[in-house]
Structure 1
């Protein structure tokens, strides 16, 4: 079932057929001025178009339902009136329902804007939001085991290797994934430079969220591209 919302994700960097990743965010990038906006029914069509331009798969309706249920941790980045990037997350109840986890499904930025640290700031925003919500315990994602650039990117934000999942990817070589995890209590909320917020709310202020008890992931491979 292509593009299932509960399908397994993610690699921050989309691996092209040549085996070269499209990493672009680095500590020396010049900031592109952006506006961050919440994901809403009004801009869902824009996010669908963005995803079709960036990712080699089609996401199901369930993906967008999960994006909306995650509240402000899912965020869209605009340059002027153009949507150029976004981070999509879902919230998952812990087994004992004492809290929730933030799973990073996709981070993507259109190619012409990939040297402006937009992806970095989208991730910072999501982590700021996660830290502000005491019900959220950690953030995590999957990265292909040989994707050193992606692992290094997340390590800069304090993510640590949690476990190796053998044969996680069915269509990639190597098929194994590293789970990267960040305890949100260890994240220090920081001011994000070069960002205006399009709504009335400024900075971390968690809106109503709906953590879900997620079924086991399917075998579909969802890749995200560079930020």
Structure 2
């Protein structure tokens, strides 16, 4: 089944100025979980476990696939975490990525806006903050999140011990 389409105007220089395209966010379901797994294999150097994908099916609006002209081109997956001595939760963005040919079309921003909007609306329990980790040399991702109101709060040494670039920055956005 095709996700609902939203008409947008493409503002990139390599496309006609008024070219219309369809963009839609879709739920992650058992039927399209294979698409998510394939995307993550292409987008990220990490192999995610079966429990990761099981949890993705349980977070509702905090996990989405994005479609561009009915083609699955990106996804965002989050998890909620209990905050000790509080009735609030934190939201961790585990993955957010768009295939390279579809970047700079606003698709990542659309997914992030969806996550932030739903975090702000969350009431039982409320979401206190959204956070994530980015490899310290990933300047494109750092600028993307900063542009969307996230702040670097910590440098995490040896966060990615399996990679050449081992250190990461923790970025946060306070919600409530």
TM-score by length of structure 1 reads 0.63
User: Which residue pairs with 2:111 in the alignment?
Assistant: 122
Q: The residue matched to 1:104 in structure 2 has which SS?
A: strand
1:48, CA displacement in angstroms?
Answer: 1.7
CA–CA distance in structure 2, aligned partners of residues 119 and 107 of structure 1: 7
CA–CA distance in structure 1, aligned partners of residues 164 and 34 of structure 2: 33
Q: Quickly say closer, same or farther: Cα 1:57–1:163, change in 2 above 3 A.
A: closer
- Is structure 2 residue 139 aligned with structure 1 residue 182? no
| 1:31-50 correspondence to structure 2 within 5 Å | 32-50=21-39
1:179, CA displacement in angstroms?
Answer: 0.8
CA–CA distance in structure 1, aligned partners of residues 69 and 22 of structure 2: 9
Aligned residues of 1:94 and 1:101 also touching (Cα < 8 A): yes
TM-score by length of structure 2 reads 0.79
Q: Quickly say closer, same or farther: Cα 1:171–1:53, change in 2 above 3 A.
A: closer
User: Between Structure 1 and Structure 2, how many residues are aligned?
Assistant: 158
CA–CA distance in structure 2, aligned partners of residues 54 and 174 of structure 1: 17
Which of residues 35, 42, 45 in structure 2 aligns to 1:53? 42
More strand by share: 2
Unmatched runs of 5 consecutive residues or more in structure 1:
1-27, 186-227
Question: What are the superposed Cα offsets for residues 50-85 of structure 1, whole Å, 9 maximum, x if unpaired?
Answer: 223333343211111221222102111112432111
User: Which residue pairs with 1:68 in the alignment?
Assistant: 57
